[in-house]
Structure formats: C-alpha cells, structure tokens
Chain A
C-alpha cells in the first residue's frame, strides 16, 4: 500500500461523527505432501476494505473487495445507510471522544524469505519429511505441510490516524498414524500449534525430518500401548496441551464481549461476572497470566488492534487473582473497566470483536526434572487432540495424543487415549508447580473460531510445563 494510494483515498472519508477505513491485504501459500504425494499447492491473494461509520447515535459498516474509487464510495454509502438505520437502536453507542489520533506501525521481524525459497525446494523438503514419517511398516497415514500467511493492514480514520502493520507467520505441520490390530493412534507436531511470526529459517531450525522419525516411533508405540487408566491423580501438562487449557478456560471466559452477552447465541457467555474483577481467586498463588502483544515471534504480537488502539502487556491474573478482562476499548467502556488492545477482525470482511491476542502463562522456577521427581503417582499429558467445554467455559474435557505414567518420581511407560475432565472454577486452584523458562514454549494456533458473522483468527500462547493435583484422568474404551 503506497503513500500515494493513501493520499488518494483520504478525501473519500465522509463528513460524519467518526469514520475509519481498514484495508487488509492477505496472502496465503500452503504446500503439503500427503502419503508421499504433493497435494495441489494453494496460493491465495485477498484485498479488501471495511468502512465503519458512527453518526448521530448509529453505526454501520460496508465491506468491499472493490478498491476503486467507485467501490470505496459505495462501501461508504452502505456504512452510512446502516448507521442511519441503526440510530438509537444500538445495544451500545461508544463514547467517540475516547478515540484518539493514533499513528505507528508494526512489521514482523523476519527477512521475508518465504518467496526466496522455490516451491520446488519446499515440496522436495516435505517429501523428505514424508519419507521420515513413513519410516515404519505399520504407519497407515502420514503427511506434512507448511503454511505461510502474510497480513498487511492499513488503518486511517477521521481523527487523522495512520497505522500500518504487516504480520507474517509460518505454521509447520506433521501428522502420522500407526495401526495395530485395527487400533489406530496418531501423533502430530504439537497438535498443529507451532504457528509463529518467524521466517523460513525456523523450518531449518526445528529439523522436521528428524522430528518426523520420533513422531512415527511414538505413533507405533502408542498403537500397542495400554489404555490410560481411569483415576484421580497428579497431572503434569506439557505446553502443547497447556495451550488449549489456557485458551479454553482462561482466554475465552475472560473475553468481555462474552461477559456482556454478545456471544450468547453462538460461542457462549462466561461464568465470570463483572463483580469478580479485582478480587476473584481464579487459581492458586502461582498462577500469573498476561495479555502480551509484545513477545517477539509470538503469533499475535502487534502494536495496534483493528480499532487502532495502542497495544501493551497487561496482567489478566496476578498471583491467582483476576485483574482484568480481555476487552477492547468500546467493550470496556460498556462495563467501565480498563481495556486491552484486543479488538480484532479476521479480515476486511468482518467487523472487529473482542479476541484473544497472546495470552501467556508466565513461567515459574521449577525445572522439568524437579516437577517429575515431585510426583509419586501421576501422568504426563502431551499434545491436544480433543477439546470440549460448556458455553460458560466451566465444565471441560480434553483429550491428548500421548500419556506417560509417572511412578515414584520417574516416567514409566506410555498409555493411549489419555483424557481428563474438570471444572474451570476449581481446576486452576489445583495448580501446584509452574515450570521455568527452560520448559516454556511459544506456541500459536491459527484457527480460533468465534463471532457472528463467524470469524477464525490467529492467537498465541506461551506457556511452561505445569503440575496439577487431583485431576480426573481416564482412557478410551
């Protein structure tokens, strides 16, 4: 988006109480090899604009992929029409004086080297990874892919704001299944949660080919392993399962639009009520959770949200006490609370709503060995493969790809189909040890669904290994 383009479209901003233009340019490239065959390569290019108008107590938007003057003016008119229609019919009319002029930028700190590697080289690499995945005779399915996404946004408004951001990220994925006596077990590369704002060098650094062999061995071992036993026990949860636990039972229930009821028809509400902020004991004293858009390479690191609000790190839960919700500027106004920069849209064709950004569990001071050695009897749970939680984000049940029993402080044999269930309100109070920086992983998922109309967005979670006591663990049939 060149400066002359910006100068050209600025005069198209209408004379209303407030109007913003949010341009989004999105590029996606997915290369996959499944069962040692290169799948059709996907390249996707998307350009569009959302015009948002606030006027006389009404609000409306017009979203278009026609970025000619005529197309933009038509979208402005549409937004004005909806703003006029909705005058005095809105659930909430924001205080527009709180919107300040913003200017700044954010660019993912990579060398933009995706396009420098040829499609053929990427395809050859994935074929090699496939070879490593199909390294055992009982492997029944295997595949690997790399997804590259680049999202450029330009935000201007009638306050003379000017925000430009470019986020690019990679998502490497592997899957391998093994069959034994009609029992099929699957291992993936971190439950498809290794999305980060990194360049292609990252692919070399994680050595997918070597990792593939390990995953294949584990899938074979799991296919012959006993079922996870049913019992109440200590559970050591690895980062690639913790990400889901944080996402579903801290991230979603703290989204302010759920608490305000906007999501009650679809994604659900929350057990959290407004009176809990500042005093509710969400978890044990060692639970510290932040909204952190500043962590380098994490998936949802940025300087501004999609309403143009400046982003900063804030504590959501400190020493176990609930501090603040995940609410953008306007949602927070509705409830008279402090905001975070979390008003985000998945693309130009959807309006911003309260979303997680990077929601991180801050590391403690225990090594992985400390944690395992402290457990007399328990289980290590790795890699999410099933998730389900009620509409108030309370009663949850999660499944993992791999369980390893712990006896007398030592890892002692793997079990298949490990699952656990619990209730958010009591679960986090059972947090008894938090791993240190060495156990911490920066992870991210690109497909968090929410909103009406529906949106999927990318969110980051950085978390160490954690130990919980009294967890209801069970296996398959």
Chain B
C-alpha cells in the first residue's frame, strides 16, 4: 500500500504546474468486521477501502478534494488527474486564505509495525467457543490501518499497523450487563480467556437483587472507562485554543484563570504509545507530549496551525479540531486493591453513557449509568443499581469533590468505527468523587 501511495504521489507531483503545491493525505484500512448477538454471528464481512485527500495550494489559496481510491492504478490515475484539473480550474475563483499554513521543512519518517497477520476466522472461532451458552453481544474489528502524508516539497510520512479490537457486553437473564474490551496487535488466547473468566465472575455479582437508588448526592467510584467518558466531554473544546477564545469550551473559565481543578489533576496529550500517527495533515510533526493541565492549572491548549495564524501564537501541530487523540491523566495514590474500602459507602460505576453538556459555560455535564454499576456498603458490593441520570460539573468532579485517583492507569483504545477505524486512545486511572449528583 505504501508503494502505491508513493506511486500516485509521484504521478500527481509530476503533473503540477509552477507555483502549485500539492499536499496529499492517504487513509486506508482492510478490516474484517464480525458483529455478534446472543453469542452468534449477526453480520460478518470485510471492508477494503482507501481514500486520498488532495489539497492544492496556489497563490495563498487552497482547495481540497477527498477521493475514494480503487487501488487500480490505471483507474485511479485518470480520476486523480481529472480531480487535479478540477481543483486547478476552481482555485483562482477563491479568496486567499489568511490562515493557510503547511509544513515547508522536510520531516520524513516511516512507522510500520510488522507483526504476524491476524486471522479473523480463528479469532471469531475462539470468541464463539468461549462465549458459548452466554448472552454475548459485541463487535470484532481486525486488520490493517494505513495512513500516509506526502507533499510536492518532498516530505513523505507513513504509519501502518495491524490490530484488533473486540468490544463486547454480556447480559444476565434479568437484563443486567457488564462490558469488556480486548484490543492489541497480537491475539493472546490466555489473555482473552482470563478476561472472559473475569466477565463471568462479574456477571454473577451483577445478577444479585437490584438496589434502587433515589436522586441525591453519592460518593462514587468512576472506573477508568467511566472517567474517560467525562474526559471525552472535556475534549469537546476544553483543550482547544480556538474554542477557549470564542467561549465554546467547557473550560473557558479555567483558561481565563477563574477556575482551578484539584492539584492532583494533570492532563497531557501523549503520543508516545504510537497508536496515533505523529504527523499532522499539513505535514507538521506532532510533539511526543503536550502539557494541557498540570497540578490543577490550565497550562496550554492544543493549537492548530490555522488558530496559530488567526491568534498570532505558536502552534503545536494539533489538527483543526484541536482535541486530544491520545490523552493521559496522571495516576493518583489510591491503591487499586483498596478501591472498595476507600469508597466505603457509595456507588461503583463501571460505565457512563450518552453524556452531554447541561450548562456548557459552567462545565456541567449530564449522562447516565450503564454497564456494571453497583451499590457498595461498608466496602462490599450490595448489588446492581437501577439506571440513574447524573448532572455534575467538571469543576466538582476534578476539583474540590475529587477524593483521589487510583494508582493504576488503563490504556483505552477507542473502538469507534465511524467512516473508518479510530486511531485514538486514552490512558486514564479511576477516581473517587464525593457528592456526585444523581437527578433522575
């Protein structure tokens, strides 16, 4: 695939006229998707897709076209040349773009993770056998993801990896459920078996009598997965330079110095795990780490090249949407083995669902409990709770009401597959928070 991208890049660059610059972004995946319900196959198949985004730059103007490739050179070369001609014809009509910025230095590199190819049929068989007689529902995605960048100035970047992501839940006869995820580059049957065993044990606990919770304030444990849902909401503009400037950020009061978080809270954008590509769609190389919030204080934002020009600041190679792709929340001091005793009386929340802002200005978020949520009394599980709605501000959750963070962080690889498989991830500990408001 890399050589194909090189070949079409060369072909297009050779077709440029003087004063034209062409920037190319390549996205491809070859993915087997197996969807399960009731521990059987609901839908299964393969998606083979590749896309090339052409950005033509001419006299400080730019125009983009996203083309689905057939990967048949004869067919693609005709389509791509036609597209280039179209962009060339249209671009003079457009106004100059005052925020146009692309990398002029050459920072070529290649990151290709070579591992034994994954056998989706074998993995599916393992799953079907392991989950036999259980009410399992979920999705398995396996295969290669490839991303490339090239420009007519001579830069070439490549990112390729093979991976799988099995995201599933298991239900009891009474409709209670727990959720699990196993994602990696190599399928290890032993790891899967132990996760499955863990699932089965949790299912037994969750099958106890439901504990009805009333609206009110509760001490809660938020698992890494549950806390990640809240961090995801912060990512809706919270770390974006532009969103903070225009006031559409839930953290704009914090950036303006009016609010602070608890001193134990430190967020960093950390690309060192290699899951996301390190190159920007305009060719800039992203730093390994960017400190966002350190010891409860707003340190810096994610700044795209466009925002940098608009607000006359330096950029840090963030994409135009300026939200984290690999966020890391620093671990705390609560020993993972002591979560229940530290929580003592409250609610153990494994998963939150369907979050949204209920007061964006003040960072207030609403959402619901979902999989694996238990009432805990005197440090012991009492049983699953009814679905509850919460409404709480990030300044409480990560501020005065934060009792502590756990000392173990969890790598959460995004299982999202809108348009294409995600390369986002987060590394998050659990948290214990008091006076967490349940409203319905």
Contacts and interface: CB of A to CB of B under 8 A. Distances in A.
B75 A265 contact: no
B248 A40 contact: no
B68 A45 contact: yes
A37 B40 contact: no
Contact of A417 (B121, B355, B359): B359
Contact of B45 (A351, A391, A395): A351
A78 B139 contact: no
A426 to B, nearest CB: 12
B90 A62 contact: no
Q: Interface residues of A toward B: which range?
A: 35 or more
A66 B74 CA distance: 11
A90 B94 contact: no
A324 B276 CA distance: 45
Interface in B334-371: 353-362, 364, 366-368, 370
Given A63-B46, A184-B252, A86 B41 contact: yes
A102 interface: no
A66 B70 contact: yes
Contacts, number: 238
Nearest to B48: A64
Select the residue from A35, A40, A395 with max chain B CB neighbours within 10 A: A40
Interface stretch (B163-171, B194-202, B203-211, B403-411): B163-171
B33 interface: yes
Contacts of A449: 418
A119 B90 contact: yes
A391 B357 contact: no
Interface stretch (B11-19, B57-65, B151-159, B296-304): B57-65
Contacts of B70: 47, 65-68, 71
Contacts of B440: 395, 397, 421, 423
Contacts of A44: 65-67
What's the dominant secondary structure at chain B's contact region? strand
Nearest to A45: B67
Select the residue from B69, B171, B367, B417 with max chain A CB neighbours within 10 A: B417
Given A43-B66, A67-B70, A264-B169, A78 B97 contact: no
A265 B179 contact: yes
Interface of B: 31, 33, 35-38, 40-50, 55, 62-72, 75, 83, 86, 90, 93-95, 97-99, 121, 124, 128, 137-139, 141, 167-169, 171, 177, 179, 246-248, 252-253, 256, 258, 310, 353-362, 364, 366-368, 370, 387, 389, 391, 393, 416-418, 439-440
Give the 3 A-B CB pairs with smallest separation, nearest first: A61-B45, A184-B247, A452-B139
Interface of A: 35, 37-38, 40-48, 52, 59-68, 70-71, 74-75, 78-79, 82, 85-86, 89-92, 118-120, 123, 140-141, 177, 179, 182-184, 186, 260-262, 264-266, 268, 349-351, 386-392, 394-395, 397, 399, 417, 419, 421, 423, 449, 452-456, 476-477
